[in-house]
Amino acid sequence: MNKKFWKKEKKGKLFSGRQIFKNRHFKKGLFSAVAVVLVLIIAVGANALITWKDFSIDVTSNQIYSLSDQTKSIVKALDQEVTFYVINSESDVNGAYKKIFNEYKKLSSNIKIEYRDPELYPNFTQDYVEDTEEVSNDSVIVVCGDKNRYISSDDFITYSYDSGYSYSASELQVEKLLTEAINYVISDETPVVYTLSGHSEQDLSSDVISSFEGDNYAVETLNLLSAGSVPEDCEILLINGAQTDITEDEKNQIKTYMDNGGKMYVFLDASVEDLPQLYSLLEEYNIGVEPGVVVETDANMYTQYPIYLLPEIQDSDVTEAQYDSNIYILAPSAKGLTDLSADDAEEETSEDTSEETSEETSEDTTYTVTSLLTTSDGAYSKVDTNSSTIEKEEGDIDGPFSIAMAVSDDNGGRLIVTGCSNMLETSIDYAVGGANTDFVLNGVNYLSQQESKISIRAKDLSTDTAIVPAFSQKVTLVGCVFVLPLLLLAAGIVMAVRRRRL
């Protein structure tokens, strides 16, 4: 009796165990548990992989952690090792700066990043910086072979006063400075920009010279009357607001230089009219200079005064970094420029040309003229700058005009002419957040055929502030703190009740 009972009991237990595995609720619970474990394993593995490979997505509105295409092309093309020595311990480096440093490292195995804690390496900067006491934490020394460049972290961010006179961060300069340093340390030679002297030209400010040097250019002066010719190492000849005219000999020397593939950047002073030699030289490159000062009639294209121009930026190789962007170029007191080749084309007739004329045309140098900055159609040139009124008068010249133009020829020569010599003044450049300097530097890089540097500029840190009314703030607070949690709780109760009924 006991044996039969034991067998039945044992058989019953076995039967109950099988029933458990066949139970639908048990299968669902087991599946959920396995799914949770798998999800956890995948999440941990993905997190480890992302951390190991340093994968990241820049979701900032201004893409401040992303590198420009120009920087990427420069870094990916490196064929020699470049080391960033960051003056700080790795754990204490500013997180934003560190992210940008690592973006360079991702692009090329030739980029090395090493951290030098000043407490552990107190004498490390002596070989690179004259005044080691001025070296701030997070500064970077970029080294390649025997060349190096020190970048102070104090220059990583620029500050400015806004309309409310509050002092705030305006631009992030890290990429700009690092890529400039890379260009410098990997370059075998430093191109020379010669500024013409002897005609009461305006001096370049120290800020402009520093910007040129930052893009790996040396700046020197040139007096053609004593030199006798443009030096062979002249990468760009710069004429900045000459107050007196060049001589015929100087004109011929410049023409010879340009015919051999030379590069020239000319800034004109609107207050100076009597420069027949210089203007005739520009006319040979199909650039006409109108007398007077440009007056703008479109209120959207000037600021404060109608002669403080905010010209429209045209699409070109020079302006690709600034075209169709939310920036302004400020050109106060500018001369109007015209394309003489367009005027000549309008005057051409459809008459047959002789064989001799065709041969002369084929032998002539072909010039391509491109407008960089333009006025509105309603602009005019005020010829009499001493007039008591700025309104248009008889004798004033109708626009539109170019404020800056670029010319290239089939001999490799390149020329940029800007009708405003004071656009690089510190106060003027500051008013547009350095956009004038960027425009000029992009032009210099275009002239020297270093287009890879164009558009590697500072990242805008300005943000738009949203003003939320008090009522909206209260509604949002109540909704997030009370209503949404109650809705989630109610949804959970309903789901639990329904599952129990099943």
Q: What is the pTM of this model?
A: 0.67
Q: Which residues pair with 158 in a beta bridge?
A: 171
pLDDT-derived band at 300 (thresholds 50, 70, 90) equals confident
Mean pLDDT of 376-385: 89
Among 275-284, 372-381, 434-443, name the one with the lowest average pLDDT: 434-443
82-86 and 140-144: which strand pairing? antiparallel
Tell me what pLDDT residue 343 has: 59
Which segments of 235-380 does DSSP mark as H helices, in order?
Answer: 248-259, 276-283, 340-347, 355-363
Instruction: Flag the least confident range among 46-50, 72-76, 148-152, 382-386.
Output: 46-50
Token pair 């650039």 in the structure block, residue: 287
> What is the rounded radius of gyration, in angstroms, for the C-alpha atoms of the chain?
34
Residue pair 288/344 in contact by the 8 Å Cβ criterion: no
Does 321 have pLDDT greater than 50?
yes
Confidence (pLDDT) at 18: 57
For residue 454, name the pLDDT band (cuts at 50, 70, 90): low
pLDDT tier, 355 (very low <50, low <70, confident <90, very high otherwise): very low
pLDDT digits (tens, 9 = 90+) for 58-68: 555 565 667 77
pLDDT of residue 75: 86
Percent of the chain with pLDDT over 90: 28
| pLDDT confidence tier of residue 353, bands split at 50, 70 and 90 | very low
Cβ atoms 412, 333 nearer than 8 A: no
For 120-135, how does the pLDDT look when each residue is reduced to its tens digit (9 = 90+)?
A: 988 888 888 877 667 8
Residues constituting the chain: 502
Mean predicted confidence (pLDDT) in 343-372:
55
CA dist., res. 297 & res. 398, Å (int)? 11
pLDDT band at 360, cuts 50/70/90?
Answer: very low
Per-residue pLDDT reduced to its tens digit, 28-84: 666 777 777 788 888 777 666 665 555 555 555 565 667 777 788 888 888 899 999
Query: Mean pLDDT for the chain?
Result: 80
Q: Cβ(431)–Cβ(407) under 8 Å?
A: no
Tell me which of 74-88, 295-309, 337-351, 450-464 is least confident.
Answer: 450-464
Ranked by mean pLDDT, the top range of 37-41, 165-169, 418-422 is 418-422
pLDDT over threshold 90, residue 239: yes
Query: How many CB atoms within 10 Å of residue 94?
Result: 16
pLDDT confidence of residue 132: 66
What is residue 464's DSSP assignment?
P
Q: Residue 111: what are its φ and ψ, rounded to 5°?
A: -95, 120
pLDDT band at 166 (very low <50, low <70, confident <90, very high): low
Which band of pLDDT confidence, cut at 50, 70 and 90, is reported for residue 221? Answer: very high
pLDDT at 418: 95
pLDDT at 68: 75
Q: Is the pLDDT of residue 292 over 50?
A: yes
pLDDT of residue 289: 92
